[in-house]
């Protein structure tokens, strides 16, 4: 939940990452890719896909309303799909039955979350690499080493976790399923999973654990900078990184606790995971941004 005590710790671009506009846009990207893949495989008419893709423009939708309505629906996907069908129907009523065809609510939200996660991780890598380079420039290569190790772990786990989730009824079709999944993945530049990961979320949680380890390393660095700078000259970015490091263990514990899910349905556990996932990624980005700012304050910092 957003509050002044959370918001001031995060740069604006971090808060926007999981904002209504950004997430609705990601879900629409998934719907457009799904329609295109199904049309190319002959599952739906090309004219229907053209209408769906042409309608999947975030500016056509009231993103805050979709998020508000999701509280009554229990999923962000339900009001999004409803609104998408209504909007498609205004231009091509015949295309409405093909909207979200063979896809589950969890397919849509999970894949949109992967797209958002990939974008946040790219910014996180850039910030952490900048921190490591700055440390090396200051003659503190040893302090940069844990950050570089963290980036290596993150790269490895991300390659497994950033996979499309299209395990709905259509994906199970022996005739078109595998091809549709592969084409959706290609259009979104995501990996193809070996199997649907609705309830088998070990790769996803492993990525979360590596994000948390990186937050911890950034927190360790922040403590060293704060110690050497002294109370009067402590960079504000160190306080942010330390605050994020304090919160990361609880976030990861919640992800681990969410792993025993109900068969193919997230009965509250999935929803809890979503909230913790967003907070964990936002914490990582805020931590890296805070350290980067701290390393710019004074070139005399001893780390």
Domain range summary for the chain, segments of one domain joined by +: 4-297
| Per-residue pLDDT at 246 | 93
Q: How far apart are CA 301 and CA 303, in angstroms?
A: 6
| Per-residue pLDDT at 128 | 97
Of residues 147, 148, 166, the one with CA closest to residue 220: 147
| Per-residue pLDDT at 265 | 56
Q: Strand, helix or coil at 55?
A: helix
pTM here is 0.92
| Per-residue pLDDT at 263 | 62
Q: How far apart are CA 244 and CA 86, in angstroms?
A: 41
Q: Are 57 and 63 in contact (CB under 8 A)?
A: no
Fold of 4-297: Fumarase C; Chain A, domain 2 (1.20.200)
Q: Are 89 and 59 in contact (CB under 8 A)?
A: no
| Per-residue pLDDT at 208 | 97
Q: Are 164 and 111 in contact (CB under 8 A)?
A: yes
- Tokens representing residue 144 in the block: 């940069």
| Per-residue pLDDT at 255 | 93
How would you label 258-289 residue by residue, b for 16+ Cβ within 10 Å and e otherwise?
Answer: beebeeeebeebbeebbebbbbbbbbbbbbbb
Q: How far apart are CA 236 and CA 184, in angstroms?
A: 43
Which residues are bridge partners to 262 per DSSP? Answer: 265
| Per-residue pLDDT at 172 | 65
| Beta carbons within 8 Å of 139's beta carbon, 6+ residues apart | none
Which residues are bridge partners to 191 per DSSP? Answer: 163
**Residue 43 has what DSSP assignment?**
S
Task: Note down pLDDT in tens along the chain; length 303 residues.
Answer: 466 666 667 777 777 888 999 999 999 999 999 999 999 999 999 999 999 999 999 999 999 999 999 888 878 999 999 999 999 999 999 999 999 998 999 999 999 999 999 999 999 999 999 999 999 998 999 999 999 999 999 999 999 999 999 877 666 677 788 899 999 999 999 999 988 888 889 999 999 999 999 999 999 999 988 887 766 677 888 999 999 999 999 999 999 998 887 665 556 777 888 889 999 999 999 999 999 988 886 545 555
- Burial bucket for residue 145 (CB in 10 Å: 0-12, 13-18, 19+): middle
- Burial bucket for residue 297 (CB in 10 Å: 0-12, 13-18, 19+): middle
Of residues 82, 139, 76, 84, the one with CA closest to residue 113: 76
Q: How far apart are CA 282 and CA 194, in angstroms?
A: 28
- Tokens representing residue 216 in the block: 């911890």
| Beta carbons within 8 Å of 276's beta carbon, 6+ residues apart | 251, 254, 255, 258
Q: Are 127 and 183 in contact (CB under 8 A)?
A: no
CA geometry: angle at 23 spanning 162 and 151, to 5°? Answer: 35
């Amino acid at each position: 939940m957003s509050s002044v005590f959370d918001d001031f710790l995060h740069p604006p671009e971090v808060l926007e990452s999981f904002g209504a506009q950004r997430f609705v846009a990601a879900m629409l990207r998934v719907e457009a890719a799904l329609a295109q893949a199904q049309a190319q495989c002959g599952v739906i008419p090309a004219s229907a896909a053209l209408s769906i893709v042409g309608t999947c423009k975030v500016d056509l939708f009231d993103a805050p309303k979709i998020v508000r309505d999701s509280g009554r629906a229990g999923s962000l996907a339900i009001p999004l799909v409803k609104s998408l069908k209504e909007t498609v129907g205004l231009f091509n009523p015949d295309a409405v039955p093909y909207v979200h065809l063979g896809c589950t609510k969890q397919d849509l939200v999970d894949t949109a979350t992967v797209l958002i996660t990939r974008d946040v991780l790219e910014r996180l890598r850039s910030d952490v690499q900048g921190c490591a380079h700055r440390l090396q420039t200051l003659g503190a290569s040893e302090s940069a080493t844990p950050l570089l190790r963290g980036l290596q772990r993150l790269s490895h786990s991300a390659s497994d976790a950033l996979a499309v989730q299209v395990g709905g009824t259509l994906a199970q079709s022996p005739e078109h399923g595998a091809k549709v999944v592969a084409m959706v993945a290609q259009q979104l530049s995501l990996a193809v999973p070996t199997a649907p990961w609705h309830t088998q979320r070990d790769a996803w949680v492993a990525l979360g654990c590596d994000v948390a380890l990186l937050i911890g390393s950034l927190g360790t660095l922040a403590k060293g900078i704060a110690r050497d700078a002294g109370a009067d000259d402590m960079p504000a970015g160190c306080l942010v990184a330390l605050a994020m490091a304090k919160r990361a263990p609880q976030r990861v514990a919640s992800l681990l606790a969410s792993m025993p899910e109900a068969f193919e349905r997230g009965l509250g556990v999935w929803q809890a995971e979503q909230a913790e996932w967003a907070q964990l990624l936002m914490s990582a980005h805020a931590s890296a941004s805070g350290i980067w700012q701290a390393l710019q304050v004074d070139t005399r910092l001893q780390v």
